[in-house]
Amino acid sequence: MNGKFPFLTPLLILLLACASGTAWYLYGSQEHTPFVRKLLSAEQPVKMKQCCECHEKVCHQFAGAPHLRTLRKATDADVLDKFAGKKVTLKENGYTYRFYEKEGVLWVDCNVYPNPVRIEWVFGSGLHALTPVSLFKNDSGKSELLQHIVSWYPSGKLGVTLGLQELAENTAGIQSLGEVLSHEKTMGCFGCHTSYLGNEPGVIETSQMIAGVSCIRCHLNGEAHIKAVEKGEKNLKLTKWNQLTPLESINRCGECHRRSDQLEPDEIHPSNELLIRFAPIGMSQSPCFIKQGELKLPPGKSSRFDCTTCHDPHEQASRDPEYYREICLNCHSQLEGHAPVCSKENMKSQCLKCHMPAVNVHDNLSFTDHWIRIREFDQQRFHDLKFKKPQ
Sign, CA dihedral 61-65-70-71, equals positive
Checking if the pLDDT of 309 tops 70, the result is: yes
251 in a structural domain: yes
Instruction: Quote the pTM value.
Output: 0.85
Assess whether 70 and 31 both reside in one domain: no
| Boundary residue ending a domain (215, 232, 256) | 215
| Boundary residue ending a domain (164, 197, 215) | 215
pLDDT tens sequence across 360-385: 998 899 999 999 999 888 777 776 65
Q: Return the number of other C-beta atoms located less than 10 Å from residue 287's C-beta.
A: 15
166 in a structural domain: yes
Checking if the pLDDT of 25 tops 70, the result is: no
74 in a structural domain: yes
pLDDT on residue 112: 94
pLDDT on residue 4: 39
Please report which confidence band the pLDDT of residue 170 belongs to, taking 50, 70 and 90 as the band edges: confident
Among residues 337, 331, 333, the alpha carbon closest in space to that of 309 is found at 331
Assess whether 259 and 377 both reside in one domain: yes
pLDDT on residue 369: 96
| Listed range (60-74, 89-103, 195-209) with the worst mean pLDDT | 195-209
pLDDT on residue 376: 83
User: Which residues fall within 8 angstroms of residue 132, CB to CB, at 6 or more apart?
Assistant: 74, 83, 106, 108, 119, 121, 122, 148, 150, 151
Give 158's strand partners: 152
Assess whether 187 and 245 both reside in one domain: no
90 in a structural domain: yes
- Average pLDDT score, the chain: 86
pLDDT on residue 303: 94
The DSSP secondary-structure symbol of 32 reads: P
Residues 109 and 117 sit within 8 Å (Cβ to Cβ): yes
Assess whether 30 and 102 both reside in one domain: no
Across 345-356, average pLDDT: 92
15 in a structural domain: yes
How many domains does the chain contain in total?
2
Checking if the pLDDT of 1 tops 80, the result is: no
199 in a structural domain: yes
pLDDT tens sequence across 186-233: 999 999 999 988 888 899 888 889 999 999 888 888 889 999 999 999
21 in a structural domain: yes
Please tell me whether residue 172 adopts helix, strand or coil conformation: coil
Assess whether 105 and 172 both reside in one domain: yes
Q: Which residue has the higher pLDDT, 3 or 143?
A: 143
Residues 71 and 44 sit within 8 Å (Cβ to Cβ): no
Assess whether 82 and 176 both reside in one domain: yes
Checking if the pLDDT of 143 tops 60, the result is: yes
Sign, CA dihedral 259-264-270-271, equals negative
Q: Which residue has the higher pLDDT, 90 or 274?
A: 90
pLDDT on residue 37: 57
Across 54-80, average pLDDT: 94
The DSSP secondary-structure symbol of 33 reads: P
Q: Which residue has the higher pLDDT, 362 or 33?
A: 362
DSSP readout, 339-375? BPPPSSS-TTS-SHHHHS-EEEEETTEEEE----S-G
Assess whether 55 and 23 both reside in one domain: no
Assess whether 198 and 293 both reside in one domain: no
Assess whether 114 and 259 both reside in one domain: no
Kind of pairing between the strands at 105-110 and 117-119: antiparallel
Across 10-39, average pLDDT: 41
Containing domain of residue 337, as a range?
A: 10-35+241-381
Assess whether 336 and 211 both reside in one domain: no
Residue 279 phi, psi (nearest 5):
-55, -45
Which range is most confident: 85-94, 201-210, 342-351? 85-94
Q: Which residue has the higher pLDDT, 65 or 30?
A: 65
CA R_g for the chain: 23
DSSP readout, 287-339? HHHHTGGG--PPTT-----SHHHH--TTSPPP--HHHHHHHHTTTBSSSTTSB
Assess whether 204 and 273 both reside in one domain: no
The DSSP secondary-structure symbol of 40 reads: B
Kindly compute the dihedral angle of the four CA atoms of residues 210, 214, 219, 222, in this order, to the nearest 10 degrees.
-50
Checking if the pLDDT of 2 tops 90, the result is: no
Among residues 76, 98, 96, the alpha carbon closest in space to that of 86 is found at 98
176 in a structural domain: yes
Assess whether 27 and 74 both reside in one domain: no
Please report which confidence band the pLDDT of residue 23 belongs to, taking 50, 70 and 90 as the band edges: very low
